C-alpha cells in the first residue's frame, strides 16, 4: 500500500489522547508522522515534534502555519488528526477540509449543531474525508456484533443498553481542581458535560452496532456534586429509527467503575453483551440456549472482525489497536484513491462527520429534554428529519 504522510494538531507532551493517536497511526506502518502543531505553547510543541522525529521545517508553532506550510508542499500530509480541546475542532477541521486535506477530528466534532452542519457540507463539497474519532467502534468484536445484527442473527432488535459510566470525578473535594472544573464549565464545554463527553460515545456505539439512529429521546440530567452547573450523571432513553429502544446511562461519579463502557443488544432470537474492559470476548445467548463466548481471532468470524484483528486468539488487543483500526480504514480508503482502485468494503466503517452531526443534535435535544423534565424531544439534526 502507498505510504502516507500524517500530521497531528494538539496531542502534545502530557496530553491525554496524543499518545493513543501516535501509537494507533503508526501501528501498521501505513502512516509516517511528517508534520505537527502539537501544543498551545509554540516552543513546547516544536521541541516535542523534534523529539518525535518530525523535521524542523514541519514542526509548526501553530495550526495556521501548518496549514500554510503543508498546502505548499508536493509531499503534503495525506491526513491530519485534530486532537485539540473541543472549542477548536470546528475552525481547524473546516480550514483543513477547505484546503483539500482529509481530516480525522476528535469528538465532539464541534460545539454546536450549526457548526456540525457546516462541517458536513464542507466535507461534501470538498470531497475530502472528515472522520470523527469514535474509536471504540474499531474493536474487532464490536464490528462482529454489528455484522451479526446486520445478518439478522438476533432477528428484530428490541432493546439496547449502553453505558459509559466511570467514577473519576466523584470527589467533591476535588471538584474545584482546574483539571476537573473546566469539564463542567458551560463556557468551555458547552451546555452538557458528561453526556457530551462520554454519553455520545455510548450513543455512537449503539447506533453503529444496531444500524439504527436516534429518533427521539427523553433525558434526565443530574449534578451529584451540587457546585456543578452541568450534569455529572445522565440517564437517557431513546426511540431508534429502526424500532429499537435504547437505554443509555453515563456518569462520572460512579465510584469503582473504571472506563465503564458496555453494550448489550437484545433481539427476538438472542442477546449480545460486550464490555470494553474485556474487549476480546463477546457473549452470545440464543433464546432458550446457553451463553457462548465468541473470542476475537476465532475462526469463522465476519470479514469486518477479521480485518480489525491482528494477533492470534488468546492474546489481548486493547484500545490503541481499536483506534488503529480507524487509522487502518482511513489509510486503505486514502491509498485506494491515490492508487485509482476501489477500497476494501470492510474498510469503510469509520465514523464520519454525519455521525459527528448526529451527536451534536442529540446533545442539544438531551439538554432541552432535561430542562423540561424529560419531555420527549426529536434527537435528529433538522437536515436528517426527512
Footprint of ligand NAD (CB under 6 A)? 9-12, 15-18, 37, 39-40, 62-63, 83-86, 88, 106-107, 133, 135
Which residue has cell 443530574?
Answer: 222
Q: Which residue number has the CB closest to ligand NAD?
A: 12
CB of 93 or CB of 126, closer to ligand NAD:
93
**CB 49 → ligand NAD: shortest distance, Å?**
11
CB atoms within 10 A of CB 150: 14
| Coil, helix or strand at residue 363 | helix
- Do 60 and 50 contact (CB within 8 A), yes or no? no
Closer Cβ to ligand NAD, 107 or 296, answer by number: 107
Least distance CB 53 / ligand NAD (angstroms): 18
Q: How far is the CB of 4 from ligand NAD (least distance, A)?
A: 21
The nearer residue to ligand NAD, 230 or 244, going by C-beta atoms, is 230
Between 190 and 271, whose beta carbon lies closer to ligand NAD? 190
Q: Which is nearer to ligand NAD, 88 or 188 (CB)?
A: 88
Which H helix or E strand runs over 93? helix 89-98
Q: Is 314 in a helix, a strand, or coil? A: coil
Residue placing its CB nearer to ligand NAD in the complex, 26 or 86: 86
Residue 180 CB, shortest distance to ligand NAD, in Å, is 12
| Least distance from ligand NAD to the Cβ atom of residue 356, Å | 12
**Least distance to ligand NAD, CB of residue 167, Å:** 17
Could you check whether the bond before residue 108 is cis, i.e. omega within 30 degrees of 0? Answer: yes
Do the Cβ atoms of 171 and 180 come closer than 8 Å?
no
Which residues does 89 contact at the CB level (< 8 Å), separation at least 6?
Answer: 82, 105, 106, 108, 109, 110, 111
Residues near 381 by beta carbon (within 8 Å), at least 6 away in sequence: 113, 116, 117, 357, 358, 360, 361
Q: Angle at CA 107, nearest 5°, toward 328 and 221?
A: 140
Q: With respect to ligand NAD, which residue has the nearer C-beta, 24 or 302? A: 24
Adjacent-strand bridge partners of 246: 160, 238
The CB-of-108 to ligand NAD minimum distance in angstroms stands at: 7
Amino acid at each position: 500500500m502507498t505510504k502516507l504522510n500524517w500530521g497531528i494538531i494538539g496531542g502534545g507532551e502530557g496530553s491525554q489522547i496524543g499518545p493513543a493517536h501516535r501509537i494507533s497511526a503508526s501501528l501498521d506502518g501505513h502512516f509516517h508522522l511528517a508534520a505537527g502543531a502539537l501544543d498551545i505553547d509554540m516552543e513546547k510543541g516544536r521541541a516535542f515534534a523534534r523529539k518525535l522525529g518530525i523535521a524542523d521545517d514541519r514542526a509548526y508553532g501553530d495550526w495556521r502555519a501548518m496549514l500554510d506550510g503543508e498546502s505548499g508542499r508536493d509531499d503534503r500530509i495525506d491526513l491530519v488528526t485534530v486532537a485539540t480541546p473541543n472549542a477548536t475542532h470546528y475552525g481547524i477541521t473546516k480550514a483543513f477540509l477547505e484546503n483539500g486535506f482529509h481530516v480525522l477530528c476528535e469528538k465532539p466534532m464541534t460545539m454546536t449543531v450549526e457548526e456540525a452542519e457546516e462541517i458536513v457540507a464542507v466535507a461534501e463539497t470538498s470531497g475530502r474525508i472528515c472522520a470523527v474519532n469514535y474509536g471504540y467502534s474499531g474493536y474487532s468484536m464490536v464490528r462482529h456484533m454489528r455484522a451479526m445484527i446486520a445478518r439478522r442473527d438476533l432477528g428484530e432488535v428490541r432493546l439496547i443498553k449502553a453505558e459509559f459510566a466511570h467514577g473519576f470525578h466523584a470527589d467533591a473535594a476535588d471538584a474545584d481542581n482546574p483539571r476537573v472544573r473546566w469539564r463542567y464549565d458551560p463556557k468551555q464545554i458547552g451546555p452538557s458535560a458528561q453526556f457530551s463527553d462520554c454519553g455520545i460515545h455510548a450513543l455512537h456505539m449503539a447506533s453503529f452496532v444496531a444500524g439504527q439512529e436516534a429518533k427521539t429521546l427523553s433525558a434526565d440530567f443530574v449534578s451529584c456534586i451540587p457546585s456543578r452547573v452541568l450534569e455529572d450523571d445522565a440517564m437517557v432513553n431513546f426511540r431508534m429509527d429502526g424500532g429499537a429502544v435504547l437505554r443509555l446511562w453515563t456518569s462520572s461519579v460512579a465510584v469503582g467503575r473504571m472506563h465503564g463502557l458496555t453494550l448489550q443488544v437484545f433481539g427476538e432470537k438472542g442477546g449480545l453483551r460486550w464490555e470494553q474492559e474485556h474487549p476480546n470476548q463477546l457473549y452470545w445467548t440464543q433464546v432458550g440456549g446457553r451463553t457462548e463466548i465468541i473470542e476475537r481471532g476465532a475462526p469463522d468470524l465476519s470479514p469486518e472482525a477479521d480485518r480489525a484483528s491482528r494477533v492470534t486468539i488468546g492474546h489481548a488487543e486493547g484500545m490503541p489497536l481499536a483506534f488503529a483500526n480507524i487509522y487502518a480504514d482511513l489509510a486503505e480508503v486514502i491509498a485506494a484513491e491515490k492508487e485509482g482502485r476501489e477500497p476494501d468494503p470492510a474498510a469503510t466503517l469509520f465514523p464520519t462527520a454525519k455521525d459527528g452531526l448526529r451527536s451534536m443534535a442529540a446533545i442539544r435535544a438531551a439538554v432541552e429534554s432535561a430542562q423540561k423534565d424529560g419531555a420527549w424531544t426529536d434527537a435528529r439534526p433538522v437536515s436528517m428529519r426527512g
